[in-house]
Amino acid sequence: MINERDKTIIKYLQGDLSLSSEPFRLLADQLGCTQDEVMEAVEELQDRGIMRRIGAILRHRRAGYVHNAMIMWVVPGERVDEAGEYMASFTEISHCYLRETPAGWPYNLYSMIHARTSQRLEEIVESIARELGIQEYKVVRTVKEFKKTSMKYY
């Protein structure tokens, strides 16, 4: 069960935190408690499985990663775990998903690569294809980013 305090904390954490040494001070003041109590409440939300984690969102383009692409791979079913784990080992890969393959569409594994140069992006793709022996894949480069936000629950 989620109470009003939990909802306030979740809503606050969904937004941008202040860049300060005490980013939870405003929330603590709003709740009438200390920052330590806020952190205890956050840990409790995680322990209860309501929140999985708190993480930063990197604005890839602002950080210089302007060569981004979704790679669609055809990987045999018995090798998807191995392939996914290998792809996920690259720091430049932010997402790696196994998807259903509808009729007429062979691609089942997708990875999102963020690179500073076109050459680095191509090196990563070629390395993965070579290492895993994947012959069939498509590179779909990002043209424009429309949304870079997390889901909002409250």
Q: In this model, does residue 150 exceed pLDDT 70?
A: no
Task: Tell how strand 109-115 and strand 67-73 pair up.
Answer: antiparallel
Strand partners, 112: 70, 95
| Rounded CA separation 42/20 (Å) | 18
Q: Which tens digits make up the pLDDT trace of 50-79?
A: 988 887 777 778 888 899 999 999 999 999
Torsion of CA 75, 110, 64, 122, to 10 degrees: 30
The closest of 127, 145, 146, 147 to 71, measured between CA atoms, is 127
Question: Which residue segments constitute the domains of the chain, with CATH numbers given?
Answer: 4-47 (no CATH), 67-141 (3.30.70.3460)
Residues 6+ apart with CB under 8 A from 86: 128, 131, 132
pTM of the model: 0.70
Instruction: Please name the residue ranges forming H helices in the chain.
Output: 4-13, 25-31, 35-47, 80-88, 118-132
Q: Sorting pLDDT into bands at 50, 70 and 90, what band is 18?
A: confident
Greatest Cα-to-Cα distance within the chain, rounded to the nearest angstrom? 59
